[in-house]
Structure 1
Amino acid sequence: MPGYFVHNGQLFREGKAVISPDNRSFRYGDGLFETMRIINGNILLKELHFERLLRGMRLLQFNIPEFFTAAQLEEDILSLCKKNRIADKAVIRLVVFRSDGGLYDLEDMRPNYIIQSMALQQYPVAPAGNGGLVIDIYPDASKACNIFSEVKSNNFLIYVMAAMYARQNGLGDCLVLNQYGRIADATIANVFWVKNKVIYTPPLSEGGVAGVIRRFLLQQLPAAGYTVNEQPLTPDDVLNADEIFLTNAVKGIRAVGQCRNRSYSSSVTKEMRSLLMDKWK
Structure 2
Amino acid sequence: MINFNGTLTETPQFSAHNRGMLYGDAVFETIRYSGGKLFFWEDHYFRLMASMRILRMEIPMHFTLEDLQDELLKLIDAEGLKDKAASVRLTVIRNEGGKYLPEDNNVSYYAFAKALKDPFFTLNEEDYEVELYKDHYVNADLLSTLKTANKIIHVTGSIYAKENNYANCLLLNTNKSVVEALNGNLFLVKGNTIKTPPLEEGCLRGIVRKQLKDIIGKLEEYTLEEAAISPFELQKADELFITNAIAGIQPITKYRKKTYTNEVAKNILGKLNAKARLGK
TM-score range, shorter chain: over 0.9
Specify the alignment match of 1:197 in structure 2. 192
5+ unaligned residues in a row in structure 1: which ranges?
none
Q: Does 1:8 align with 2:11?
A: no
Residue 127 to residue 196, structure 1, CA distance change in 2 (3 Å): closer
Specify the alignment match of 2:150 in structure 1. 155
Q: Does 1:252 align with 2:243?
A: no
How far is 1:124 from its partner? 7.2
How far is 1:128 from its partner? 4.1
Specify the alignment match of 1:125 in structure 2. 123
How far is 1:168 from its partner? 1.4
Check conservation: 1:213, 1:247, Cα contact below 8 A: yes
Specify the alignment match of 2:62 in structure 1. 67
Specify the alignment match of 1:183 in structure 2. 178
Specify the alignment match of 2:207 in structure 1. 212
How far is 1:110 from its partner? 1.1
Q: Indicate the RMSD between aligned Cα atoms, in angstroms.
A: 1.4
Q: Quick one: percent identity of the two aligned structures? A: 33
- Equivalent residues in 2 for 1:7-26 (5 A)? 7-13=4-10, 16-26=11-21
Query: SS of the residue aligned with 2:154?
Result: helix
CA distance in 1, matches of 2:8, 2:152: 29
CA distance in 2, matches of 1:209, 1:202: 10
Check conservation: 2:215, 2:268, Cα contact below 8 A: no
CA distance in 2, matches of 1:64, 1:115: 17
Q: Residue 46 of structure 1 is aligned with which of 41, 44, 47?
A: 41
How far is 1:29 from its partner? 0.2
5+ unaligned residues in a row in structure 2: which ranges?
none
Query: SS of the residue aligned with 1:148?
Result: helix
How far is 1:219 from its partner? 1.9
CA distances 1:199-248 after superposition (whole Å, capped 9, x unpaired): 11000111111110001111222123331110101110111111111001
TM-score normalised over the length of structure 1 = 0.93
CA distances 1:37-80 after superposition (whole Å, capped 9, x unpaired): 00011000111111111110110011112111121110000011
CA distances 1:60-105 after superposition (whole Å, capped 9, x unpaired): 0111121111211100000110111012211100011100012245
